[in-house]
Amino acid sequence: MTRIAILFCTAGISLPLYAGSTLAPAKIYAQELVNQTVAKYPDLLVVAMHVTPRHGSENVIIASNIGRIGKKADAEDLKVIKTGETLAKVNKNGDRFEVELVLHDASLKPIGALAIVFPYKSGDDKAQFEKRAETIRDELGRQIADIGKLTEAFPVRQ
């Protein structure tokens, strides 16, 4: 009986980050970076980090401003990560411009993908969205010492 209780407690601790929860994880560095990005660029509709956490086996959303934490990477996410190619397109409703690009750490090592969605209206310069996404990605990357830091508690306890 004690073993079962321990298993449930352990599972409960990991649920917010890995079990497909739609809630943002509590107080991890990756979520802090997303929060800072959305605060700095309030026009962004979506910011989501797709990363395979250290000791994880699958690439998932580890931080975002829209929840979906723990959602497994789809074929497009994995293509960006494997090929390094940026995917950029107007969504099917024609009101959002979606950019997904490789996310790097401070040493420029690829660590996953970053999805950013901008509001869009017909006639907007699509290239400017890609350029802004690259700028935002590069700002984030400079703040990521390595992939392991992303899932560490924030603020760091001394």
Q: Which element (helix H / strand E) includes 102?
A: strand 96-104
Q: 46 near 52, Cβ under 8 Å?
A: no
| 54 Cβ neighbours under 8 A, 6+ residues apart | 147, 148, 151
Task: Look at residue 123 and give its three-state secondary structure.
Answer: coil
Task: Look at residue 50 and give its three-state secondary structure.
Answer: strand
Q: How far apart are the first and last CA of the chain?
A: 36
Per-block mean pLDDT, blocks of 10 residues, the chain (158 long): 40 38 64 94 95 86 89 91 94 95 94 95 93 96 90 70
Residue 157 has a pLDDT of 54
Residue 156 has a pLDDT of 56
Task: Look at residue 97 and give its three-state secondary structure.
Answer: strand
Residue 15 has a pLDDT of 36
Protein fold of 2-151? Beta-Lactamase (3.30.450)
